[in-house]
Amino acid sequence: MTDSASRQAGGAMPRAIALVGPQGSGKSTLFDALLTAAGSPPQRRAADARARAMGTAMRIGHCSFMGDPWALLDCPGSVEFAQDVAAALAVADLALVVCEPNPARAAALAPVFRAIERAGLPAMVFVNKADMLGDHRIRDTLAALQAHSRRPLVLRQVPIRSHGAVTGYVDLVSERAYRWRRGEASEIIRMPDDVAAREAEARAALAETLADHDDALLEKVVEDAIPTPDDLYRPLHADIAAGALDAVLLGAAEKQHGVLRLWKALRHDVPGPAVTAARLGIVPDGEPVAQVFRSVHAGHGGKLSCVRIWRGALKDGASVNGARIGGITRYPGGEPTKATEAAQGDVVALGRLDAAGTGDTLAPSGTAAALPFPAAPAPVYALAIATEDRKDDVRLTAALARLAEEDPSLSIIHDAEAGQILLAGQGDIHLLHAVARLAEAHGLRVTTARPRIAFKETIRHAARHHARHRRQTGGHGQFADVTLEVAPRQRGEGFAFEDRIVGGAVPRKFIPAVGEAAEEATRRGPLGNPVVDITVTLHDGAFHSVDSSDMAFATATRMAMQEALSKAEPVVLEPVDHVTILVPQDGTAAAQRLLSGRRGQILGYAEKEDWPGWDEVQALVPEAELHDLIIELRSLTMGLGTYTRRFDHLAEARAR
């Protein structure tokens, strides 16, 4: 069944889930397990396996569970591909946060929780690899996670242990106990006696949290009455949908433990696309509306625009935003399959919409109001790139434009001063992936190098020099005589030219040529860098009524500038950036040492607002020290640290 109408049993609209979480948490394993449990086992391909291992590939998978259609978005776990996560959250109905049971890894969830909160998206948490809890208590894991989430996290299940290993769980709403069975549905068992007390305590905590938004349940809690499963389920469902709290479930995706139970929870608690559309301000009536959340250039297959359809239906060949759809692709089991139409809620790829960009809103009229879409993060790492074969330079420009369209967190910077093309992004793995895409998708092999730093130079004191240019070559000769003074200005004041000629020593008509030549001479100073923050003053000169000209005075000026600048004690200036580092608090001291070791001036640090357990460290750091800062920072902070930067000032370069 390829058509939406035949695929959607009972008219149910497809719901979309974004699987998010840190690298190594097992998102892709859970993605595969969910598809398998729904009867759509994914086809594993070597290229996909490599990409998943690197945490660089977003996958889309379609399936049906208990008659309901679903779209699963498996998001990269690497922090360097956070833009893909943000894009998926923009079009999903719910975020499924996948994490490990080790409390020490909980800090890795902070950026994920913040992204979900910014998107205003409902969420659930799946503690994967729960069979490896070991000596960790689930309450400790929950407490560690809660320290990084502003929403209450409520435990939906408590683990059952046997001989120190987790073998199943008790559902706190139904109070039923289950034993996991690998590759099969869990088996209902009698609740073990040693679990009963922990279950009662956890259930009471769940009831108290849910009672905050439900008066009927609050009354039962106050009266110490035992709530029924319906008493708990009703507010739990409402609070999840409203984003008031996140339910936490347990399992082990690799062994299919807890996956069917997770599916049932998703089936009951994930809002439908109509609810999500309303949250985004999309009214139910009107022409079809879709949003592009990902763009892919598929070689000979052309461009694919991955979209979520928020209203109406789209058919192959229909026109949106003035362009004709050239094919609709769905991904049952993660494999591309052609379809003839897509209905409300569908996540599909539309072909040949070359003018549609990532984040664009699509409609037949082309006049639909723009939907919100996350802005790309500022780059933190850059490489200068060049083609191995110069004849590929023109192709490189077009290929880079396509890369940036596919991934908005990539920036292409043409640095005219340094004569380099810079590829900037979120880290070394991010850029290595982009360079690999250039080779694989565009047949372009490039070399990479560290970007050149835009050093400048200035002078420490004033100097004056007299220069005379005289040339006789037959006919009219060349003659000009100037006396110039160069003097330093305050940092950031730039270049200035002053004319102090009296008595007509230099005719007025030649003075503009002197000023222009003086400024031109600052493009390369005695130390090989552009000269900044100086005043050039024309004090005196001489001319010849026949042989003087603009060209002659420009030549004399350049001679005078070269000598005057050399005598004025030139110094190299380096750009200094204001850097703000964001790290978990246990990494603050390491971040400060890192900055100090890179000639940084620490300005202070404070807890980041709305980021419990995280600090912002402010510093002034020379740009020359920032090239690989993000690599070392992440190595010191379990891959969590990041930073932003902005140019602050130029300062005299000093040795490290």
Phi, psi (deg, nearest 5) at residue 521: -65, -20
Q: How big, in percent rounded to 5, are the helix, strand and coil portions of the chain?
A: 35, 30, 35
pLDDT score, position 655: 64
Q: Among candidates 435, 432, 433, 430, which has minimal Cα distance to 446?
A: 435
CATH architecture label of 573-652: 2-Layer Sandwich (3.30)
Identify the pLDDT of residue 183.
77
pLDDT tens track for 194-252: 899 999 999 999 999 999 988 999 999 899 899 999 999 999 999 999 999 999 999 99
Residue 53 in this model has a pLDDT that exceeds 90: no
Report, at the CATH architecture level, how domain 283-362 is classified: Beta Barrel (2.40)
pLDDT at 32 over 90: yes
How would DSSP label each residue in 147-188?
Answer: TT-SS-EEE-EEEEEETTEEEEEEETTTTEEEEEETTEEEEE
pLDDT at 5: 35
Read off the pLDDT of residues 80-126 as tens digits, 9 standing for 90 and up.
999 999 999 999 999 999 999 999 999 999 999 999 999 999 999 99
Q: Does domain 457-568 have CATH number 3.30.230.10?
A: yes
Asked if pLDDT for residue 49 goes beyond 50, the answer is no
Using the predicted structure, report yes or no on whether residue 10 has a pLDDT greater than 50: no
Taking a C-beta distance cutoff of 8 angstroms, is the pair 270, 69 a contact?
A: no
Q: Who has greater pLDDT, 42 or 557?
A: 557
* Segments making up each domain of the chain, as ranges: 124-268, 283-362, 381-449, 457-568, 573-652
44 pLDDT more than 80:
no
Class of domain 381-449: alpha beta
- Give the separation between CA 201 and CA 371, rounded to whole angstroms: 44
Two domains, one topology: 381-449 and 573-652: yes
At 138 the pLDDT is 92
The reply to whether CATH 3.40.50.300 applies to domain 124-268 is: yes
pLDDT level of residue 475 (50, 70, 90 thresholds): low
Instruction: Please identify which residue in the block is written with the tokens 């939406």.
Output: 4
The pLDDT, as a whole number, for residue 240 is: 95
pTM above 0.95, yes or no: no
pLDDT score recorded for residue 12: 84
- What rounded mean pLDDT belongs to the chain? 92
pLDDT > 70: percent of the chain = 96
